[in-house]
Structure 1
Amino acid sequence: MNQQIFTSLFCVMATTSSAAPTEDVFEAARASCSAAFLERDAAAWQEAAATMIGWGTVEDGDLKRDIDLCLAYGEVIPDADLAAAKAAAEQETPPEPKKPEQLGTIAQDLELFLRRAKSTDANMERLASDIVEDEDFRPEARPERDELEEILVTYVRPLPASRRKANLTAYQALARIDPDNKDYQERIARYAAAIEVESAALERAARGLEKRLIKTTEAFDGSSWSRHPSSPRYQDIRDYITLYLINDGKGRKSLELFVNYTSRDGWLFVENAQLNVDGSTSRLPVSRWFRDNDTEIWEYGSVRGSQAIEIARKIANSDRTVVRFNGQQFYDDFVVSNTDKKVMREMLALWDVIGK
């Protein structure tokens, strides 16, 4: 962080006074900031930064580090404006986030849904979900209703059957438009049953994996970390990125995204790491790097919580991810293997079950 930004952050946090955030509010702001950083979304970053600045001086060291990290993201996000975030935070009434266009009568709802469906950048999956959520939407037979139905049918027909949730939502939306269509109802029942079977199978697989995790427990406080049996046993074997299941000894669990660099040629003195996920680059938000050695050296860092899950999902579902370790003078790249991505997918599936 350059001196000007550091000075600005110090002034912002020193002159603002407000109530400390609740855990839910803090986690929501941190997740928003992380997403803005990964997407290089300046507007979203400024909104999250304004929220954090509005909290004023935070005494908790862990919270303060996360806030400082979020604010520092503004240095690398194009068009991010710390002054604008500060100005928003200083307003008596913080600016409300933009709200989607309000729904009104059924005719107005139909007009709005149809306009969204016909737009060049239509998000049909989101549109179908919004139609399903609008329980009062029961349009009468008219040309506009038929046109919306046709667009939805055109969207859902080529969807692979394996995309069960997307198919289910689309047919539920079609059933809102034409509740008397028996084909829609039959497909809803079919996909709902398939999802239930799949969910049960995933839970059994996740519980089975949970029993096979290799667990290391601290005698001092009972805290533990568990790794997938296919993840590296030793850090000095190879470069890798993986997920660990963390238990703080008091029953609280979280996922940790762990990234490791190793070499026989000497220290890289890693300062930061970057990700290239299918051509989209971002910085891995590791706040501190550690080093150790025997006959080889290894340097490592980690990210926990919602940030870890968000980043891991992108890597696990990518075609190609490259991790770049940036050292004091040199850098080193490695391509995430299919094995490591499979490990991450299975750990995420486990978390979807036990992290509820």
Structure 2
Amino acid sequence: MKKRKILVIVITALIILTIMTGCPQKNNQIPTLTKISGPSGTINESSSTFSWSGNDPDGSIDHYEYRKDGGSWNTATGTSYTWSGYSEGSHNFNVRAQDDDKHFSKVITWNFVYSIPNCFDLKITVKDVNNKRQKGVEVYLYDDNWNYIETNNTNENGEVIFEELTPSFYHYEVYFDPEKINEEPEYWGAKTIEIIDMDVNNEIFERNLPTITDTFPSENKIPYGEISPIMKTQSTDGATYTLRARFIFDKDKTGSYDYDYTTNEKLVESGIVELEGETYNITQETNMYVVLETKIGGTFCNTDQFGWLNLLPQTNILLLTVSTTPEKGLEIQIEGTNCISPKTMSFNEDEKVEIGVTSVQEKDRSNYIEGMDTRYVFSQW
């Protein structure tokens, strides 16, 4: 009986103890970290990004911490960090995680050595379509991924120098617009080069994209009335190009053009080719500008331009002032194929008169003055 009472008391005590203390606690599991990316070994980059991921099996990660070269721990704002400006030599980068129970993970470490690379210069000599060195050319330099680096202009010798480049592949583009009068400069082409272990890497760029060889109309003398402007082009590298021409006519060159026409595309191989514009009526003094556009990589680029050309229609009203101071007046009879009808004009001593002539040459002051394709006869009275 006594034993039974003692057993009941013990069992009751165990039940009460279990109720009061609950289930036995499990041991906390610390977070785990995994490196995703980051530098290793010897590198030449002065900036590195470290990435990682974390997991807590029995809870959540509260935050991450990092430190550089054994320094103080700092709280990270995410699961990556970019370290820039470290010195030449060996370095290490540590990361750890803390979970919601204040327990830390094991530390993960990146070890690397930063070696400052040797730098070299690049000298580019730019030549035009006539193989002459061209000053004032803009050269744009890019890295191997076409990220812009800088722009320099060629000097009097047609040379441009880019300094302190690390050995790698680079791209450069060449543009030219000496008078800055067109919407965009001429595109002369692009090349890819490799900088190697050499104090100065020398490069020669020769212009070979299609260029303008001639235009119609040309400076000054042009037919009166309707014309179809023509551009003659050529390329020197033997390649096949898709071209089109742009013709601009404007009396005052203000930018609000009187005529602005772009021709249809034309597939052109080596040799001289003509591109013709729409008919345009010229009845007074005007100016012409022409642009040659070449398709490069699916996009038309300005590869040559020419102008502004001053155009004077060839009629009997060309506004050239002729003056004379004879002992007596002169009588001038205008005759020629470009006159609407013969005219007679008289002027007195010391008087200036405007008559319809182009560049006039006086011969011996005896029997005639000749202009361009027009004969001018005079006599004293």
Instruction: Give the TM-score band, short-chain normalised.
Output: under 0.3
User: Which is strand-richer, 1 or 2?
Assistant: 2
TM-score w.r.t. length of structure 2:
0.17
* Structure possessing the higher radius of gyration over alpha carbons: 2
Relative contact order (alpha carbons < 8 A, sep ≥ 6): 1 or 2 greater? Answer: 1
